[in-house]
Amino acid sequence: MKRTLFSAWGPAVHGRELPAWAMFDPEVEAPVAGVCRALERKLRLSVVNCCSDGTALDDHGRLEAQHYQLTLGRRMRGGGWSLEGRAWVAVPIPKRDEA
């Protein structure tokens, strides 16, 4: 297991203290999967959809973080989802010497 630092923002997470670290297994999943699990536990909402929202670059044009847009919601009794909001997360891309 490895851990990754992340930051989150958006209307769905406004006013809530979020975990700064998420655990993931690099052999079977991407770091964003661990971030989604950490947010689900903290917010008590499910991640209904997760899609890539681009890559952030640092001042020198090197890859810095992957950005994702998450749709959060609750499962409804009759089936389907009650959408509760959206959040954006930034998952840093490890430097070559950190990988």
Give residue-wise pLDDT tens across range 45-90.
999 999 999 999 989 988 899 999 999 999 999 989 999 999 999 9
Do residues 4 and 60 lie in contact, with contact meaning Cβ atoms separated by under 8 Å? no
Give a yes or no: residue 7 inside a domain: yes
At 25 the pLDDT is 92
- Exposure string of 19-51, with b = 16+ CB inside 10 Å and e = fewer, is eeebebeeeeeebbbbbbebbeeebebebbebe
At 76 the pLDDT is 93
- Tell me how many domains the chain contains: 1
Give a yes or no: residue 27 inside a domain: yes
Give a yes or no: residue 99 inside a domain: no
Range of the domain at 69: 2-92
- Give residue-wise pLDDT tens across range 1-31: 899 989 888 888 876 767 688 999 989 999 9
Give a yes or no: residue 65 inside a domain: yes
Give a yes or no: residue 54 inside a domain: yes
Q: Mention every residue, 6+ apart, whose C-beta is less than 8 A from residue 15.
A: none
Give a yes or no: residue 97 inside a domain: no
Give a yes or no: residue 98 inside a domain: no
Give a yes or no: residue 17 inside a domain: yes
CA 47 centroid distance within chain:
9
